[in-house]
Structure 1
């Protein structure tokens, strides 16, 4: 395993770091001011569109997509350090570079499983950053940590038309509050009584303006509405009808597509989490050398030194594990890297939550305020202990794989 960055990665890192310093960090306060003046809190601040235009001009665009035809053509190992950099400003940088979830996963699904018409209608405007999208899987009435529980129905129309009828309720549908969100990828059951519980589900494309689709409310995350992410909505599908041609892949293929989508999504989250941890460490160190308590700088207090040292050790460990996982995904595929993908999904969010929590403690009242990014970083990192499968599901699967060796 050689984790040294190649020439292309080094060149992109240098350009991206300069872009962050020159454009993204200064835009954080500007975006906050502009959002306060918007007619709707879900509208996009003008500075975000300016960042997108600049990133595209500089070639810092669609870096996540390994498909050279549609994306930057980078491997996971090449993209990892770039995603870490954007994670330092998770509200702005991923969106600015068109590398923000859930659009990234949806673009991967369309690139891998969509037909030519679907790519033309939805993938191309997503790649261009002209529209946003949402992925509708989680449901409020069932334990969605087990995707086979999904109750949303995707049924063939009984009136002879070549259409599907979609009925169900979803929630925490990321991006759905954004007025630029034009398309949902909806997971539901086309064969609820089928003998194979992993062949009961399918995915269909549902335009937002389809009759019967209602975005009912925004869901908060630790009190945050997550405007930059496009919010997290509760969405009702009440006999919404779409052509059968909106099916992605084949009937019964939804579960497999979801697994293909979540593999890269999980490692992307972990890459960005490391960037969030690095931002927290930087903020800790700046606070430690600039504040005095009990006659000494905070950085001279033993407990603060321990926090900073432990945080550095933890980040270095996490980075190596994430890079190993990226390397395995590139060399043996997502299935071959399954254990490592689960390992980073378990280890990274909980460790980063702890680092950010120490930073919050160091900032005192400021740490929980809107004047510093720590509280919002904490909310985002803590949520990732649930999103894309809660820790306990990954622990269960990982333990079974380990135990199988001894049975």
Structure 2
């Protein structure tokens, strides 16, 4: 297979590299300063909104979506080297261009499997970066990497579905802008009693959209990974769903399609996330190993001089990051 960059990929790489050099890297110390000064650990640093506005102005927005109706229409081969670049500033760059998980996978899910009403209500504000979302699959009592183990129930009751269960490690749910949960549960737990069990046990699950403010939804706590809360980047929450009632039209796709939808969501997301993490040896960690990071720290610049706080910093204020 030919992995050379085509003309469009090369053009986007150049534009994205310039955005990182001129705007994102100089904003990192300001972002850290604003996070430290905020009273609320989940408050959104103002510099992030400025970066988003500049990214949209430069045409660097929703690059991850392969459907040209909603995003850049890039293939995985075209998007992978762009994801690698954003991985050099993992706390700023992906969200600055609206390509941050878990919203990326959730937007792809809604674009491919959502109804017109669901796309209008939830996909549109996600594409515009106005809200965020969470994906709720993992549960505390079972090995949820195999989704056939999950126990959360989604039961049809007239024109509604009623949801009961507990989820945890629901990424993005601690963000105050997270307005919708995509919840995976079982609508037909008895499907494995059919004759061909190895086929039908994967038809037990369904996915449903649950607005955060629905009665019965309780975000119990934020969780830590190696002692870190991942604030203010969305975090990972434990959530109770107790007699949560939502309209039947909130079901994503058909009953029993949840496992297949989860697999479709996982594939592209895992690949592009891996591309982002592959950048770490040439990004943040290299400043410790080789002393090659000659940005505002080594130059003795203050954060306020590295980033003016509005608009784009001048090219002279950009950090020099390893290639």
TM tier relative to shorter chain: 0.7 to 0.9
In the TM superposition, residue 78 of structure 1 has moved relative to its aligned partner by 0.7
What residue in structure 2 maps to residue 41 of structure 1? Answer: 41
The 5-angstrom pairing of residues 5-44 of structure 1 reads 5-44=5-44
- Report the structure, 1 or 2, having the larger helix content: 1
Matched residue pairs, number?
287
The 5-angstrom pairing of residues 127-146 of structure 1 reads 127-146=127-146
What residue in structure 2 maps to residue 326 of structure 1? Answer: none
What residue in structure 2 maps to residue 356 of structure 1? Answer: none
SS of equivalent residue, structure 1 residue 167: strand
Structure 1 window deviating more from structure 2 (274-283 vs 247-256): it is 274-283
The 5-angstrom pairing of residues 317-356 of structure 1 reads none
Provide, for residues 262-300 of structure 1, a one-character-per-residue CA deviation record: whole Å limited to 9, x for no partner: 00011011110111222156325533899xxxxxxxxxx
Paired residues of 1:64 and 1:79 also in contact (CA < 8 A): yes
Paired residues of 1:66 and 1:73 also in contact (CA < 8 A): yes
Q: Bigger relative contact order, structure 1 or 2, given CA contacts below 8 A and separation 6+? A: 2
Q: 2-side partners of 1:20 and 1:225: how far apart?
A: 26
SS of equivalent residue, structure 1 residue 198: helix
Gaps of 5+ in 2: 193-199, 295-323
Paired residues of 1:216 and 1:236 also in contact (CA < 8 A): yes
Paired residues of 1:153 and 1:168 also in contact (CA < 8 A): yes
The alpha-carbon distance between structure 1 residues 228 and 63, as it changes in their structure 2 partners (threshold 3 A), is farther
In the TM superposition, residue 97 of structure 1 has moved relative to its aligned partner by 0.6
SS of equivalent residue, structure 1 residue 229: coil
Gaps of 5+ in 1: 291-407
What residue in structure 2 maps to residue 236 of structure 1? Answer: 240
Q: 1-side partners of 2:82 and 2:292: how far apart?
A: 28
SS of equivalent residue, structure 1 residue 80: helix
Misfit runs of 4+, over 6 Å: none
The alpha-carbon distance between structure 1 residues 269 and 165, as it changes in their structure 2 partners (threshold 3 A), is same
What residue in structure 1 maps to residue 206 of structure 2? Answer: 202
SS of equivalent residue, structure 2 residue 101: coil
What residue in structure 1 maps to residue 148 of structure 2? Answer: 148
What residue in structure 1 maps to residue 300 of structure 2? Answer: none
Q: TM-score, normalised by structure 1?
A: 0.69
What residue in structure 1 maps to residue 50 of structure 2? Answer: 50
The 5-angstrom pairing of residues 147-166 of structure 1 reads 147-157=147-157, 161-166=158-163
What residue in structure 1 maps to residue 196 of structure 2? Answer: none
Q: 2-side partners of 1:234 and 1:10: how far apart?
A: 42
Q: 2-side partners of 1:211 and 1:223: how far apart?
A: 31
What residue in structure 2 maps to residue 248 of structure 1? Answer: 252
Paired residues of 2:42 and 2:233 also in contact (CA < 8 A): no
What residue in structure 2 maps to residue 395 of structure 1? Answer: none
Q: 1-side partners of 2:140 and 2:220: how far apart?
A: 13
In the TM superposition, residue 39 of structure 1 has moved relative to its aligned partner by 3.2
What residue in structure 2 maps to residue 70 of structure 1? Answer: 70
Matched, 1:269 2:273: yes
The 5-angstrom pairing of residues 306-321 of structure 1 reads none
Q: 2-side partners of 1:280 and 1:53: how far apart?
A: 24
Provide, for residues 115-167 of structure 1, a one-character-per-residue CA deviation record: whole Å limited to 9, x for no partner: 1000000000000000000000000111112111000000112xxx4110000
What residue in structure 2 maps to residue 328 of structure 1? Answer: none
Q: TM-score, normalised by structure 2?
A: 0.86
Q: 2-side partners of 1:36 and 1:264: how far apart?
A: 34
